[in-house]
Chains A and B, each alone.
Chain A
């Protein structure tokens, strides 16, 4: 037999063998998870994964869902939108999950969305902030994180206290960063302030000195910073090096201030952060007991404290997805999608209930998460004076 025929036969044999449907008993209820576990934003993705695992274990401890155990099928999107789409395809087609949670970054979520519509599988969006995610008209999307516009609204009540007259923007060059700049810029203009310098940085960039020098040359009093914790660390360090003295406000909730204090040290002093979970003051969360239990469990597993500000997303995302399965009564994607509209649970961030968002007839689900602001003071996290009063 020629080598060609032999190679062809082997290839065909493999395809036949692997293509045959698996015959194991399918006892566990599977929930797909797509997160960046490697690449520039891997820290955040891993924290979300850890939170998801805690949720799974807690729920399995209480009997799982529909009398079956919950199993998380975790895929790495490598901080790359293309991989996110492939991961979604894999989870839906190969693993036949009834619901997915993901995909952290807005660009990654957007890349996976066509797959959801193509196959009809719902996804709980736990972190992404781009407005387009819920405005695109994809009825399989249910977002529990706030879009940038909602974040900006959350900041609105503190604007006077901040006293921002002109703000510069430094954001990562992705859907998230650009959306954030647009949302906060609009908020500022409506409140009588103005937008100064707007600069972007590549997701994988490490030297932002050029952008910082440009920002420094302007006359703004505040800098809005939107990117992952790794880049925020670098920006703060480089800003300190160039003696940038603006007020810094980070947006998006992924700034992990504890990690910033550890890695940027004095450079993080005085910075403000918009967050959606306060591990330093769990009692201040809507469900204080749940929050405290989560923080304790996190510590018990030896996970780094600084990951809590993102880890909670994994918990709330899985909680929501499983609740959808429970209300649906079966692990079927269409049923879960319909059931998700009926979800009304208390997560770590607060109550989770979906409202319609987007073009009529194809609305996505969007809940209204709680939004908080903290400040780094004397190397510790504190609620800013004006926020503590309210």
Chain B
């Protein structure tokens, strides 16, 4: 991407809350950002290993429940919840990957779909853990509480937009770093469409 376009894009993204008047559109941008992170994760898998996972929603769900359960039931800080939302699905992914990446192509796809289906059923039926269809309302918002200053809630649309923007940039950088690191070790393109 040309540097000019990149700079323009970043500038637009960084200042969006100031020129996107309609809060619903800002809401849409926030949702787009969240899904962008999800897309980055799938792109990492599909683009660099050639394997398609259609069960990624499961990791999305595990992350969401991790945050919700830790903050609502154990009343831990939402920041720890956020951290858990990165770590726990990561662990799940590692386990699934160990099992599933023995398979290829359509079989891998079906395995990921089945995994997602199971996660979905567990979250609806395991009432004691997830409250089933009654859900976990009242998940607290992120807030910055520095000693001596009043807590700054990141619940407002504008604040949350920046949280998501930071998340997208971080996710992108992490993916970039991962790929660069892998290039020196495992040569992931070798796992591409035609495995050796």
Contact = CB atoms under 8 A, between A and B. Distances in A.
The answer to whether any beta carbons of A and B sit under 8 Å apart in the complex is yes
Nearest to B125: A173
A93 B2 contact: no
B134 interface: yes
Interface string A156-181: 00000000000000000111001000
B2 A174 contact: no
B104 to A, nearest CB: 32
A15 interface: yes
B74 interface: no
Which 6 interchain pairs have the tightest Cβ spacing?
A93-B24, A94-B24, A5-B5, A19-B22, A4-B5, A19-B21
Name the interface size band of chain B.
20 to 34
A107 interface: yes
A2 B134 contact: no
A113 B132 CA distance: 18
Nearest to A200: B125
B124 A15 contact: no
Contacts of B24: 89-90, 93-94
B23 interface: yes
Contacts of B132: 173, 178
Interface of A: 2, 4-5, 8, 12, 15-16, 18-21, 81, 89-90, 93-94, 107, 110-111, 113-114, 132, 136, 173-175, 178, 202
A107 B124 CA distance: 13
B146 interface: no
A77 to B, nearest CB: 15
13 contacts: A2-B2, A4-B1, A4-B5, A5-B2, A8-B8, A18-B25, A19-B20, A21-B22, A94-B24, A175-B133, A175-B134, A178-B132, A178-B134
Contact of A8 (B9, B19, B22, B23): B9
Nearest to A8: B9
A19 B17 CA distance: 12
Contacts of B22: 18-19, 21, 93-94
A4 B2 contact: yes
Interface in B1-41: 1-2, 4-5, 8-9, 12, 19-25, 27
Contact of B20 (A15, A90, A111): A15
Contacts of B124: 173, 202
A107 B20 contact: no
A64 to B, nearest CB: 27
A178 B21 contact: no
Contacts of B23: 93
Contacts of B5: 2, 4-5, 8
Nearest to B12: A12
A4 B3 CA distance: 11
A326 B51 CA distance: 60
A178 B20 contact: no
Nearest to A118: B155
Interface string B62-104: 0000000000000000000000000000000000000000000
B135 interface: yes
Contacts of A114: 137
A202 B27 CA distance: 31
The B contact surface, by secondary structure, is: helix
A21 B125 CA distance: 45
Given A136-B137, A175-B133, 7 more contacts: A4-B1, A16-B19, A21-B21, A89-B24, A107-B134, A110-B134, A173-B125
Nearest to A176: B133
Contacts of B19: 16
Interface centre among A16, A111, A173 (most CB of B within 10 A): A173
Contacts of B12: 8, 12
Nearest to A173: B133
Interface centre among A81, A89, A93, A202 (most CB of B within 10 A): A93
Nearest to B16: A15
Contacts of A2: 1-2, 5
Interface centre among A8, A15, A81 (most CB of B within 10 A): A15
Nearest to A175: B134
A228 to B, nearest CB: 14
A352 B16 CA distance: 46
A202 B22 CA distance: 38
Nearest to A130: B134
Contact of A174 (B21, B133, B137): B133
Nearest to B27: A89
B2 A107 contact: no
A98 B1 CA distance: 46
Contacts of A132: 134
A259 B71 CA distance: 45
B159 to A, nearest CB: 13
